[in-house]
Structure 1
Amino acid sequence: MSTVLPGKQILAKHVNLKLGPGLLQSSSANATDSSIITTRTGVLIHSTNKSKWWVEGNSRRYVPAAQESVIGMVIQKLGEGFRVDIGAAHYASLDGLAFEGASKRNKPNLKVGCLVYARVSLAHKDMEPELECFEAQTRKSEGFGEVKGGFLVRCSLKMCRELLDPNHFLLPLLGGRFPLEVAVGMNGRVWVNAKEPKLVIVISRCIEAADPDGSGLNETGVKTLLGELDV
């Protein structure tokens, strides 16, 4: 890991190379191949096998990236689709047919204020982001779609990435104490649900407490917090 500034060229090569937020692949007419440059300040991070690269910053403003999962709120119905707030500079569009099994006669009836767990299918700096509520390869929902009930927790983008790391302690720790449902968006939003309202509050408090932009509690600190909350 190393700290980078915008405009720095990155030497990243892999057969299945995937670039995340903060990196841009550009090509020049005079170049034989494309180059990868950073677009924001932060820490350059890559996966263990160096197939995935991204720049981790402390920004709370989400910059859409293709294939990322997000949680959005429907703010307007437009013709055959919807306009969705995903916390980015621009609203995203969600087609009424971008759901598993949807057809012109059978489309979801989302209302303003509904929450959807979706995947970014198109992200370009000069275009409005587009969303889909199914997996691209299987066209099955795979958990995407409207999420009902529960509570929406807002946190840092870094916290969302940590929650998606299977080695992170928080979700396994909470899941070992009581059943819960969690949908993590890469856009700084986490939807949580449990059998009792009290447990929903506990999950929300723990996420906020473990957030690096908040208290940044480690596993020991969260266990202490759970004891104070009598869970």
Structure 2
Amino acid sequence: MSSPLILLPGDSVPSEYLPSSNSSAPLRLGPGLRLLSQPPSSSSSKTSTGHVLAATQSGILTTDPKRNAVSLLSTPNRRYVPTSNDLVIAQVHHSSPDYFHCLITPQTPQVVLGQLSFEGATKKTRPMLKQGDLVYARVLSTGLGAGAEVELTCVNPATGRAEPGGLGPLTGGMVFDVSTGMAARLMRASSSSAENQESVDGLVVLDELGKKLEKVGGFEIAVGRNGKVWVDCANGGDSAIKATVAIGRCLSAIDEHTLSLADQKKLVTRVLREMKIET
């Protein structure tokens, strides 16, 4: 459809807005949508017709026919509601014999992460995490009903491997807070080509920072849907600290202000110059 569709929590998604896929790939749901029913598995149809979806948050419906995916582009906000399959950055609060008890936002109850929920972990080789340590994890389940515990994992339950790459403990680096809307944009940008970043999210800051900081060793980034961004520069020393702080400043500025693609590039250049980072 040519006109954008704005949904509120509880609204159903009209079938004509769902992508029509000629592949056998299943319909992929992004954050903000819940599957209420789907066509019978015996159906020979390869389109998305027949799926009944409802919105769990407000936003603009976006579709990706190539990936047979549909999601909600939410407006920036600071409140995060855990959803299955979300990638989050969690901080260990304390541990028990079977679980690490973690925080994903200041205002929500603690979540649990199994002590063996890491790639190749056994009772002898499991990570010895302590209070304050960070982990990059996926929401495994949110439970049913009020008060249900949210469970995290650092592996794909089907393969036992840390997929996508980077799941597990995060060492070093710094963590910056952004809105959940900005976090969603960054996650899409980090997994898309530069052309898709520009056309879908209007976000080129990661690509621009990558080019500018290549001479000083580049950087690693992990983005959580809970509004946390972990950044680590590989070269160490004072230049790494400056580069890390510069990245955080750029992300915060773009989160707080609506900047065009050209303005984002100018922002990166200005911040790196102010931090006296040679590019």
Answer yes or no: same fold by TM over 0.5. Answer: yes
1:200 aligns with 2:250: no
1:159 aligns with 2:162: no
* Higher mean C-alpha displacement, 214-223 vs 111-120: 214-223
Amino acid at match of 2:62: I
Q: Tell me which of 92, 95, 116 is aligned to 1:77.
A: 95
Distance in 2 between residues matched to 1:226 and 1:197, nearest whole Å: 12
Which structure has the bigger radius of gyration?
2
Amino acid at match of 2:9: P
More helix by share: 2
Question: What TM-score do you get using the length of structure 1 for normalisation?
Answer: 0.86
Q: CA deviation at 1:160?
A: 1.6
1:44 matched residue in structure 2: 61
Amino acid at match of 1:183: A
More strand by share: 1
Q: Which residues of 2 match residues 4-83 of structure 1 at below 5 A? A: 4-10=7-13, 11=15, 12=18, 15-27=25-37, 35-49=52-66, 51-55=68-72, 56-83=74-101
RMSD, matched Cα: 2.3
What 5-or-longer segments of structure 1 have no aligned partner?
Answer: none
1:186 matched residue in structure 2: 225
- 1:62-101 C-alpha deviation (Å, 9 max, x unpaired): 1222222110001121221111111273322100010111
Query: What secondary structure is seen at the aligned counterpart in 1 of 2:182?
Result: helix
What stretches of structure 1 move > 6 A for 4+ residues in a row?
A: none
1:95 matched residue in structure 2: 114
What 5-or-longer segments of structure 2 have no aligned partner?
Answer: 39-49, 198-202
Structure 1 residues 224, 105: closer, same or farther in 2, change over 3 A?
A: closer
- 1:168-203 C-alpha deviation (Å, 9 max, x unpaired): 411221122221111111211010112221111111
Amino acid at match of 2:56: T
Question: What TM-score do you get using the length of structure 2 for normalisation?
Answer: 0.73
